[in-house]
Amino acid sequence: MLRGIWAASDALGPSGLQRNSPAQRRFQEVLGRFFWQSPIIHRCFAKPRGYAGDFLMMDDVYRNLPKGETVLGRWMDRWVLEQPGFVAVRNRREKLISLLREEWRNGARHAMNVASGSASELADVVETNPFQEVTLLDQDQGALFAATTALGRRMDPAHVRTWSGSVFTLIRGKTTLVPGDQDVIYSIGLYDYLSPRFATALTARLWLNLAPGGLMAIGNFNGHDPMRRFIEAAMDWYLIYRDAPDMLALSAGLPDVEGAEVWTDPTGCLHLLLVRKRGAAGSRLTSVCG
């Protein structure tokens, strides 16, 4: 039945299942009670923090341990955790950990995470690769608290900078709280919600804060995720999808680009745009993706 839902969703065309459409409401009326027994699916639909994919939900996806008050609920949680989109999220986390460690080994000491969530991947990294300073940006103060608590156990809390606010304030250059000369800047859960205009503007703004020789990593789901229509129907969760050429286009107008590549996770569901800023000869890695 579930594979049939994936196949039937292709008939919806590129516009997908429109929010509050009769088809979406009918899906939720008939099947909602079944799927919502999964704590993860229900949390995405209910949005207790005001948005789907909040940091608590993402941490559950990373832990990959099913929950649920009933046998069916736990089974449904296991089922959704094994779907390609959530497997891709875990793959992306491992790729980021690898990138951060490699950058540290090559001299990076300042890292900035935009729309950081709990920044659990960074907390794992600094245990063995101590960054000198970490900067976290997120609109959710609860996420920042969770991140600073975890990082504060592994590094000097005085070296963890936070900024809570809208990314649009950052784009417009109305804050001076974001330090320059970052060796690594990455954002993995934000661009899925940004229009091409704002995604391009944010990329340009962040690029200004990247040190010569530094690495920028930007994550985005692509349109090939088989969960796409399901998360629209069952979770009321809508993303802006980008394929590899769309990702590369974000870096097209940036100055001093040494190299840009797109990494695709093994499931094929999401991309990371990796852009290296030109630096002094031999300053750091010449390969972007590694």
Return all residues near 82 (Cβ < 8 A) that are at least 6 apart: none
Which amino acid belongs to residue 24? Q
What percentage of residues in the chain have a pLDDT greater than 90?
A: 72
Q: For residue range 165-189, what is the model confidence (pLDDT) as tens digits?
A: 888 888 887 666 566 789 999 999 9
Q: Which of 37-41, 43-47, 135-139, 230-234 is the least confident region?
A: 230-234
Q: Which of 101-110, 175-184, 200-209, 235-244 is the least confident region?
A: 175-184
Residue 6 pLDDT exceeds 60: no
Predicted TM-score of the model (pTM): 0.89
Residue 78 pLDDT exceeds 50: yes
Q: For residue range 249-281, what is the model confidence (pLDDT) as tens digits?
A: 999 999 999 999 999 999 999 999 999 999 854
Interval 45-65 mean pLDDT: 96
Q: For residue range 181-229, what is the model confidence (pLDDT) as tens digits?
A: 899 999 999 999 999 999 999 999 999 999 999 999 999 999 888 888 8
Q: Which domains does the chain have, with CATH numbers?
A: 19-83 (no CATH), 86-277 (3.40.50.150)
pLDDT of residue 104: 98
pLDDT of residue 285: 47
What would the DSSP string read from start to end of 235-284? H--------HHHHHHTTTT-SSEEEEEEEE-TTSSEEEEEEEEP-STTSS
Distance CA 255, CA 276 (A): 11
- DSSP H or E run through 225: none
For the record, the structure tokens of 105 come out as 């080994």
Distance CA 79, CA 207 (A): 39
